[in-house]
Amino acid sequence: MPDTPSCQAYSPDDNNVFGYSPSLAAGIVFLVLFFLSAYVHLFKEFRYKTAWLDLFVVGASYECLGWIARTAASKCSYSSEMFTMQIPLLNFAPAWKTGGIYIILFRMIPILGNTAPLSQPRPVF
């Protein structure tokens, strides 16, 4: 990517790396929501001694960092550094959350057993 030009107001005529002007309000709202999610999961992890909740804490922390970058880019939408920072963070965060969901399923299946499958087996053809 080319060097970052000096910060300037968004202009639809100029090409920026985002293709739009990132919203400051949306950035703050999502940052607060993901911070609360990380805080609640971290609290529950220590309260109930469940280390597997670390996956949700890491995922929410990645989301927070990504939204910090996107919120900062709302003031300078031509910053390739902010774009480069937020893309991998916002793309990798769901993988951590999905890992946590798989652990939940792994722990639920022995409790529920095979008598309560989520879907009934049937032939495909």
Separation of alpha carbons 74 and 16, rounded Å = 12
For residue 72, the tally of other CB atoms under 10 A from its CB is: 17
Query: What integer is the mean pLDDT of 60-83?
Result: 91
Separation of alpha carbons 31 and 62, rounded Å = 10
Is-contact 99 60, C-beta < 8 A? no
Q: Which has more confidence, 57 or 15? A: 57
**Residue 26: per-residue pLDDT:** 95
**Residue 97: per-residue pLDDT:** 94
Integer Rg of the chain from CA: 20
Query: What integer is the mean pLDDT of 86-107?
Result: 93
Separation of alpha carbons 70 and 100, rounded Å = 25
Separation of alpha carbons 120 and 116, rounded Å = 9
pLDDT grade, residue 120 (50/70/90)? low
Q: For 2-40, what is each residue's pLDDT tens digit?
A: 555 567 666 666 778 888 888 999 999 999 999 999 999
Q: Which has more confidence, 77 or 56? A: 56
Instruction: Give pTM, 2 decimals.
Output: 0.79
